[in-house]
Amino acid sequence: MFLDLIKKYDRIIIHRHNRPDMDALGSQLGLKEIIKDNFNNKEVYAVGDMTNKYEFIGRMDLIDDKLYENSLVIITDVQVKNMVSDERYKLAKELLVIDHHNNDCDITNNVIKDITMVAACELITKLAIDSNLKISSKAATYLYAGLITDSGRFLYGSNMAHSLSIASKLCSFGADFKYIYDNLYVEPLEYRKMKAYFENKFIVDGHVAYLFNDKDVFDKFNVEFMDISRGMVQVMSGIKEIEIWANFTYDVTKNKVIGEFRSRNKTIVDIAKKYGGGGHNLACGATLDDFNQAKEVIKDFKKLIGDE
Ligand SMILES: [Mn+2]
């Protein structure tokens, strides 16, 4: 399906989830490079919202609606409608979803899904290699970026042997991992101070830890929503007594509370799904109505680990 669909269309537009992380951007931009390098007569674009933090990895294309006519849209790293960045994917002639999340796809029947892959970038690399497509050093750098970030620098993954073998191949294709690491491991002073603030703020309830971030945290720190919502969940990780941790952040643009959930061992994705969310077994999230509903989620976590 992967190669057949790519061959069938002269114009391909690649989407991914909104508020992108490195796996979303890496899979999108990596796939764009691969298609451009292997098929010299195709137009390929990558679109969606962008965050300043990740501009070192690449930029998005600004394209006219009419380019969607007779196009193939490939969506990476997401398979639910309400999380796709740029709704114009609906204007495409045909759709293909390539994802590694544990969700049911509500976008199209053309789905390549493998939840054993720790990153969408791992899946894209595998598809390209299986299809005998050439992967340039630029494409490999994009793909490597998503692989190391979604795996927590090779800390997580249900098939580590596969993840590492893909990493090895990407390095042999010339992935510039030093460039990626140099950008990932240097942070602005403001960000370091923000971490210290949240490290002192989280609440411990039995074996669950959580943060409730009202809109005033964005007055304290001049950062983007994801820098706190997804960025600060990790201040509660790696603590012996804490089995499940969650970051609840008020999103003023949606008047909702975005929950990011993490667990060391116990599968929590079913609790995320109960609240309309999803993701991975040990790392997932949901969009909640308010902080009262967040308290319900915490209750469910405590029930799961026998705290209640
Ligand atoms: Mn991903």
Output the CA 258–ligand 1 centroid distance in Å: 18
- Ion ligand 1 nearby residues (CB, 5 A): 23, 77, 120, 150
Output the CA 26–ligand 1 centroid distance in Å: 9
Side-chain half-sphere exposure of 17, counting CA atoms within 13 A: 19
Of 254, 245, 252, the residue nearest 285 (C-alpha): 245
- Ramachandran sector of residue 152 (left: φ over 0; alpha: ψ -120 to 50; beta: rest): left
Burial of 52 (0-12, 13-18, 19+ CB in 10 A): exposed
CATH 3.90.1640.10 region(s) of the chain?
2-184
Bridge partners of 203, per DSSP, are 210
- DSSP code of residue 176: -
Q: Which amino acid is at 129?
A: I
Q: Quick one: fold of 2-184?
A: inorganic pyrophosphatase (n-terminal core) (3.90.1640)
Output the CA 120–ligand 1 centroid distance in Å: 5
Output the CA 284–ligand 1 centroid distance in Å: 11
**Angle CA 125–128–131, to nearest 5:** 150
Query: Quick one: tokens of 91?
Result: 């204007």
CATH 3.10.310.30 region(s) of the chain?
189-304
Q: Indicate the pTM of the whole model.
A: 0.85
Number of CB atoms found within 10 A of residue 300's CB: 18
Output the CA 77–ligand 1 centroid distance in Å: 5
Q: Which amino acid is at 231?
A: G
Output the CA 24–ligand 1 centroid distance in Å: 6
Question: In the chain, which ranges are continuous DSSP H helix?
Answer: 2-8, 22-38, 120-130, 137-150, 160-172, 177-184, 189-199, 217-220, 225-229, 269-274, 291-304
SS3 11: strand
Note the residue count of the chain.
Answer: 308
What number does CATH give the domain 189-304?
Answer: 3.10.310.30
Rounded Cα distance, 291 and 248, in Å: 8
The full DSSP string for 91-134 is GSSEEEEEE-SSS---S-S-EEE-TT-SSHHHHHHHHHHHTT--
Output the CA 184–ligand 1 centroid distance in Å: 17
Output the CA 147–ligand 1 centroid distance in Å: 8
Output the CA 74–ligand 1 centroid distance in Å: 15
Q: What pLDDT tens digit does each residue of the chain (308 aa) get?
A: 999 999 999 999 999 999 999 999 999 999 999 999 999 999 999 999 998 889 899 999 999 999 999 999 999 999 999 999 999 999 999 999 999 999 899 999 999 999 999 999 999 999 999 999 999 999 999 999 999 999 999 998 899 999 999 999 999 999 999 999 999 888 889 899 999 999 999 999 999 999 999 999 999 998 889 999 999 999 999 999 999 999 999 999 999 999 999 999 999 999 999 999 998 899 999 999 999 999 999 999 999 999 87
